Amino acid sequence: MPIDHLPRRLCGPAERIRDGLLTDATALVILGAGMIARGISYSDIAGPGPSGHPAESWMTMGTWSIVWVAVGVLCLTIAPWHRTVTAALAVAGHEVLYMIAGYSITETSGRLNE
């Protein structure tokens, strides 16, 4: 292992970092960062844009922004406790939002091809 080639005083911390990155916490951080980015894209910070798919018309873009950022923050904050039910619910929230967006986009693209 490359960690074995590090100086002795760095081996312990490097192994702890590696062990941490091999958990679901890393996935929660990646999911959370992506959701926050998506939420920011829905906010006024990114500037107004046209609605991309029908599901976006269910709520205002500001509300969608809050929902996406809230789930993203939940994913980030629950990452240290990645083996809890709350972490599973955060991942479920992530998946539900992406499934809604994906299905809505699929419906829109199907209508455009008719």
Q: How far is 30 from 21, CA to CA, in rounded Å?
A: 11
Higher per-residue confidence, 51 vs 8? 8
Q: Domain limits of the chain? A: 24-112
Residue 99 near residue 65, CB atoms below 8 Å: no
What pLDDT shows up at residue 73? 93
Q: Give percent of the chain above pLDDT 70.
A: 82
Q: How far is 75 from 30, CA to CA, in rounded Å?
A: 9
Question: Amino acid identity of 105?
Answer: I
Averaged pLDDT, 4-21: 79
What pLDDT shows up at residue 45? 67
pLDDT in tens, 25-68: 888 899 899 989 888 887 776 566 555 666 776 777 778 888 88
